[in-house]
């Protein structure tokens, strides 16, 4: 009646997906984390389809426990989402892997940039959740590519990420290029 159970974990692991093994890429099989919460006021079997960072776990547990969230905490509580609300917490999510890859994901699209290999990928996350069809060269997505690239640069500025991406609009749009071949 007064206990919440939270199951979460580190990021995923490619076990053959996209021909890869390990954690060295930006596909959703790697960057998504499980976050399952059960307890009072949470409808059994409900699912929330919003962009959140695992860092919101602290603020969320504070709010669930009735403890004030410290002012220094930068990530928002997701209690309203897990109790049936629908107010998005983020317009996009930023991901990075060393100095090899950067990604920005919205609910609709994901842009992955491989700056050293000068390769870019864009996936339609609603129609292609397994990220099998790179749409980076699709003429109808030119404005999406520009918007995602701008949002990626914005994240880099906000987070002091100094990796120089180069001119993403000139990068090749090859399909699934295993990271091992790029490095």
- Residue pLDDT, tens place only, 20-48: 887 788 999 888 888 899 999 898 888 88
What pLDDT score was predicted for residue 38? 93
What mean pLDDT comes out for the span 110-125?
94
User: Residue 125 — very low, low, confident or very high, per pLDDT cuts 50/70/90?
Assistant: very high
CA angle (47 as vertex; 42, 53 as ends), nearest 5: 95
| Residue 17 reports pLDDT greater than 90 | no
What pLDDT score was predicted for residue 86? 84
Calculate the CA 26 to chain-centre distance: 8
What mean pLDDT comes out for the span 109-126?
95
What pLDDT score was predicted for residue 33? 84
Calculate the CA 22 to chain-centre distance: 17
Distance, in Å, from the CA atom of 89 to the CA atom of 108, rounded to the nearest integer, reads 15
Whether this prediction's pTM lies above 0.85 is answered by yes
What pLDDT score was predicted for residue 180? 40
Nearest partner of 77 among 98, 95, 91, 62, judged by Cα: 62
Integer Rg of the chain from CA: 18
Place of tokens 């399909």: 175
């Amino acid at each position: 009646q007064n206990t919440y159970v939270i199951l979460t974990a580190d990021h995923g692991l490619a076990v053959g997906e996209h021909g890869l093994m390990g954690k060295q890429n930006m596909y959703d099989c790697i960057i998504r984390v499980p976050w399952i919460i059960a307890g009072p006021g949470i409808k059994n079997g409900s699912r929330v389809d919003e962009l959140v960072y695992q860092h919101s776990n602290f603020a969320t547990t504070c709010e669930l426990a009735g403890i004030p969230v410290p002012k220094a905490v930068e990530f928002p509580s997701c209690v309203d989402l897990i109790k049936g609300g629908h107010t998005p917490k983020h317009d996009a999510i930023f991901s990075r892997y060393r100095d090899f890859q950067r990604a920005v994901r919205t609910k609709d699209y994901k842009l992955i940039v491989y700056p050293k290999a000068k390769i870019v990928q864009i996936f339609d996350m609603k129609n292609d959740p397994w990220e099998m069809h790179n749409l980076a060269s699709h003429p109808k997505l030119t404005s999406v590519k520009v918007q995602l690239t701008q949002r990626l640069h914005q994240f880099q500025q906000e987070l002091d990420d100094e990796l120089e991406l180069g001119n993403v609009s000139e990068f090749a749009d090859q399909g699934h290029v295993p990271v091992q071949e790029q490095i």
